[in-house]
Structure 1
Amino acid sequence: MRNSVFDRLSCVFGDEEKPVIVKEGDSVAINSDLTEIKDGDVIQWWFGNTVIAEINKRANRFTVYDDVLDGRFRDRLKLDKQTGSLTITDIRTEHKGFYTLEINSVRKKTFKVYIRGRRLVSVKEGDSVALNSGLTEIKDDEIQWWFGNTVLAEINKRTDRFTVYDDVLDGRFRDRLKLDKQTGSLTITDMRTEDAGVYERKINSRITDFFLAVAEEISVKEGDSVALNSDLTEIIMHYDVILWRFGNTAIAEINKQFNRLTVYDDVLDGRFRDRLKLDNQTLSLTITDMRTEDAGNYILQMRVSDRYSIKAFRVSIDSVHCCGSTEAVIRLVLSALVGVATVVLLVYDIRSRRAERDQAHIHTSET
């Protein structure tokens, strides 16, 4: 049976660790295994050596310390007031590690949180895309490639079986899947918009996600603005998180759970500072004063529960080269010279014609 978005196993007491596996960007609930907090209980949640949440039932105090560790957990921690369980939302790679539940300074439970890898891939419609296995050679590995809840291809090196299931999903991928028998990488040819989505690579027990998007091509002049349209006429309420990325970097986000709309224009050394605008209604993103370094892939990622919708844009910059001051002076001088030359030729032409008429008049008079 496949792993769910995150595995929730019963925790053990003492020094043993309970592994918790979660996808980057999802939420994870770490269970206290209590059905109810008693009146005298004092409960603390630790991340490494730092307290991040605390319950004192006697004082009726429920506290999350989400500003610790440079605000790493800001707006991401939730305490269940009945059981003391801790939920971490929108989890990132910096949240992986050891979490300890301490009850009345006596009982302890330790969890080790692992973050599953996630990669963004953008491709032009009609092109091919290779989803890499990360292996140089298959040994005794078992490899599976999934699209959503459907197996597309699998490899069992022990039985020397290499199989693509291109007749699944009503034959959507028929004759378009290729497995590399040396590395296990999967190639999809002739990409179509309906192929966009989340692909999973499972090698033995290791899982990596690929966000695959078919990009819309946009060209914009340097210095102009570009609007990346979400195609939403209004904020769709069933989406938990809507995220704009430039490459792998988040640049704007709306989190419905916290009613928060944020632009991260200080990322990438402040490249987008004061140039990002989110439409409050449709969540389309506008970037002003486009520059050459802004060219690249922009991804719109919309999540509800563990399902994703993805839209991508490949933006190119049409540079407008303006001449420098020296070149401008040279061009001005050349234009002036051309103008002078034109006047000289015009005066010469007038004088020549006048001379011809005078000569003709003299000739007529003599006759």
Structure 2
Amino acid sequence: MKKMFLMFVYFYLCFCCLMGVFGDEVKSVSVMEGDSLTLHTDIKLQRDDVIMWRFGPQEARIARINKEKNYISIYDDVLDGRFRDRLQVNNQTGDLTITNITTQHTGDYKINIKGNRETSYRFNVTVYARLSVPVISRVSPQCSSSSSSSSSNCLLLCSVMNVRDVSLSWYKGNSLLSSISVSDLNIRLSLSLEVEYQDTNTYRCVLNNPITNKTQHLNITHLCQTCSDKTGVIISAYLLS
């Protein structure tokens, strides 16, 4: 029984050692384009450690620290120079800082530490482009004296250009009326709203990503003319490529 217990302890310790070498922790980080991002290791480096930072699916090396020789190497010309003049590493902590970050720096970062032990950590970084304020415009024709529904309502369009990983939404007060999302880039994202000419409610169009948002408030008096006293709001949404 004692022998079996010792064997169990031995294999358990071996398993833990293997996990320390091959088991990567993954931390997700989000940041806005133009900001500086520091990837913190939260570890205490030893004087004989060698630290290597890598990026992307090919794990291209971007920085290296040799603690024993007190030497730092920055490989900022890799990957078409996207990291050029943007990388800083802390010789004491191994932390990596990316300055003036862009959407090209979205991806997986890996730090590998070798010395008396081998440890690795991964960071999944998402860089969001800065948002512009959405534009509200009128797309319906001039007011008609007809009593039909199409002529008694004002059709509006809220639009943004060249957006990625965002949602565009119409709100009536604090209530969500409609929303549309997109993950691609280089497209026009539009969301329409049909209101009455004499509607006195407050409306706003909001563009947002997981970090921030931009809001445009609707001025019905400015964009629409008075045509009828009918009530109601009709919502529709579509994506224009």
How far apart are 1:60 and its partner, in Å? 1.1
The residue that corresponds to 1:90 in the other structure is 100
1:183 aligns with 2:179: yes
Amino acid paired to 1:21: S
Aligned 8 A contact 2:134 2:214 in 1? no
Given the two structures, how large is their TM-score scaled by the length of structure 2? 0.51
* 1:6-33 per-position Cα deviation (integer Å, ceiling 9, x unaligned): xxxxxx9623421011111111110111
Match in the other structure for 1:118: 130
Letter in 2 for 1:60: N
C-alpha separation between the residues in 2 aligned to 1:67 and 1:117?
A: 23
User: Higher relative contact order at CA 8 Å, sep ≥6: structure 1 or structure 2?
Assistant: 2
Preserved CA contact (<8 Å) 2:32 2:129 = yes
2: CA distance between counterparts of 1:30 and 1:88? 8
| Contact 1:117/1:207 (8 A) holds in 2 | no
Gaps of 5+ in 1: 1-11, 138-154, 156-161, 165-178, 189-198, 213-367
Secondary structure class of the residue paired with 2:177: coil
Letter of the aligned partner of 1:38 in structure 2? Q
Distance in 1 (alpha carbons) for counterparts of 2:83 and 2:215: 25
Q: 1:40 to 1:120 in 2, by over 3 A?
A: same
Identity %: 39
Q: CA RMSD in A?
A: 3.6
1:55 to partner: Cα distance: 0.3
Question: Residue type of the partner of 1:84?
Answer: G
Question: Who is 1:38 aligned against?
Answer: 46
- Residue pairs, 1:1-367, within 5 angstroms: 14-35=23-44, 37-48=45-56, 49-104=59-114, 106-121=118-133, 130=158, 134=167, 163-164=173-174, 181-183=177-179, 187=204, 201=208, 206-207=210-211, 209-210=213-214
Q: Which runs of 4+ in 1 moved over 6 A?
A: none
Q: Which has the larger radius of gyration?
A: 1
Cα distance in 1 for residues equivalent to 2:132 and 2:41: 34
**Matching residue's letter, 2:132:** L
C-alpha distance in 2 between matches for 1:65 and 1:211: 41
**Counterpart-to-counterpart distance in 1, 2:110 and 2:124:** 9
Match of 1:254 in 2: none
AA matched with 2:68:
R
CA contact 2:39–2:95 (8 Å) conserved in 1: yes
Q: Who is 1:282 aligned against?
A: none
Residue 318 of structure 1 is matched in structure 2 by none
Classify the secondary structure of the residue corresponding to 2:94: coil
Aligned-partner Cα distance in 2 for 1:181–1:211: 15
Paired residues of 1:78 and 1:87 also in contact (CA < 8 A):
yes
| Secondary structure in structure 2 of the residue aligned to 1:118 | coil
Q: Distance in 2 between matches of 1:16 and 1:116?
A: 23
